[in-house]
Structure 1
Amino acid sequence: MTLPAPINEQHRLLCVHTDDIDPVDVGAVLPGLKVWPLFLDSENGYWILRVQFAPGTRLPMHFHTGTVHFYQLSGVWNYAEYPEDVLKANSYLYEPGGSIHTFMVPEDATEPSDGFMVVQGSNVNFTEEGEFVNVMDAGWIEHVILECCKAQGRPIPRYIKPMAKAGFSDAE
């Protein structure tokens, strides 16, 4: 067997150095969050982010349509539904699709919670009473990041975005 011809030519390493860029403050939409977008693929439903959550941050209760892999870099957080299960620095969390929970960083946390997440699908967000709020997916996150950068007069940070163009395989 011979080496196959490349389908996609790669001429450089696709890498985002989060220590070299400032996070995007998305607090106007998601209070307490600063985000480093790493990979946003709205067509395939993947979003990969590094996120810093301020002490006291509480996200809406949400339903995961897909899986989540989360690596905690520093700080702590837990789900309101499981207060005894605290994710601390250098921990890995797997969340199955179909799970429902409410993310929170304790008010008395001594530092922001900083983590890296790989999410497939979307979060369907609800109020504490179970009323629908919105759907958070790769496209929505990209929109929020772009709008926050525009409002703050800052450049859009570099992130990886698949560039496939949908169309027919045959030329008509």
Structure 2
Amino acid sequence: MPMPTPIFDHKELLTINTNELPIYEDALAPYFPGVDVQPLYLDPNLGIWTLRVIFQPGVRLPCHYHTGPVHLFTMSGRWHYVEYPDQPQTAGSYLYEPGGSIHTFMVPEDNTGPTDTFMVVYGANINFDQDGNFVNVMDATDIMQIIERLVKERGLEPARYIRPGQAGYTVG
């Protein structure tokens, strides 16, 4: 069998260094303050969002439902789900969440520093308030719009992250 012909002609690797990219502080404020976001890969077509997220001590996100699976790696700090207080996630923890999961993310107020995480999310988070009422949907498109808004409002350089090409026809 002959070697396949590449579909895409990559002149360079699609790689980014998190140490060289900005972290958008308080990216989800005013609704969810204390959440700093660094987008790495955003694909609105497939609904995949890969982020580095840094949570400040005391952050509590709303209860949310995942429409798809999540891979979450904790690099430093600690956090837990309100529904699973006896299973804290600490530096080095890897968590897989199947689609259909419902939980409330929380960083303890007594953390001595921020909690640094890396996540790959498929689909959307459907967020609810404490009474179970719908709040909003967060997905790859929403993250893209949040980052674009922050860049404009704060007068920052355009965000650099990996994004696949737009769909189109093979022949005009």
Q: Normalised by the shorter chain, which TM-score bucket?
A: over 0.9
Q: Which residue of 2 aligns with 1:129?
A: 131
| Per-residue deviation, residues 59-116 of structure 1 (Å, max 9, x unmatched) | 1110000000011100000011111110000110000100100001001111100010
Q: Which residue of 1 aligns with 2:113?
A: 111
- Quote the Cα distance in structure 1 between the aligned partners of 2:91 and 2:131: 31
Q: Which residue of 2 aligns with 1:28?
A: 29
Q: 1:166 aligns with which of 137, 155, 168?
A: 168
SS at match of 2:108: coil
Q: Which residue of 2 aligns with 1:13?
A: 13
- Quote the Cα distance in structure 1 between the aligned partners of 2:71 and 2:123: 12
TM-score normalised according to structure 2 size = 0.95
- Quote the Cα distance in structure 2 between the aligned partners of 1:108 and 1:6: 51
SS at match of 2:161: coil
User: 1:164 Cα shift?
Assistant: 3.3
Q: Which residue of 1 aligns with 2:62?
A: 60
SS at match of 1:111: coil
Pair 1:76-2:78 in alignment:
yes
The one-letter code matched in structure 1 to 2:49 is W
| Per-residue deviation, residues 115-145 of structure 1 (Å, max 9, x unmatched) | 1001100000000110001110000011001
Pair 1:4-2:1 in alignment:
no
- Quote the Cα distance in structure 2 between the aligned partners of 1:83 and 1:166: 47
The one-letter code matched in structure 2 to 1:40 is L
Q: Which residue of 2 aligns with 1:100?
A: 102
The one-letter code matched in structure 2 to 1:21 is L
The one-letter code matched in structure 1 to 2:52 is R
- Quote the Cα distance in structure 1 between the aligned partners of 2:121 and 2:56: 21
What fraction of aligned residue pairs are identical, expressed as a percent? 50
User: 1:27 Cα shift?
Assistant: 4.2
The one-letter code matched in structure 2 to 1:157 is A
Given that residues 62 and 105 in structure 2 are in contact (C-alpha distance below 8 angstroms), is that contact kept between their aligned partners in structure 1? yes
Cα distance change, pair 27–66 in 1 and its aligned pair in 2 (3 A): closer
- Quote the Cα distance in structure 2 between the aligned partners of 1:27 and 1:160: 21
Unaligned runs of 5+ in 2: none
Q: Bigger CA drift: 94-103 or 23-32? A: 23-32
- Quote the Cα distance in structure 2 between the aligned partners of 1:111 and 1:49: 19
TM-score normalised according to structure 1 size = 0.95
The one-letter code matched in structure 1 to 2:7 is I
Unaligned runs of 5+ in 1: none
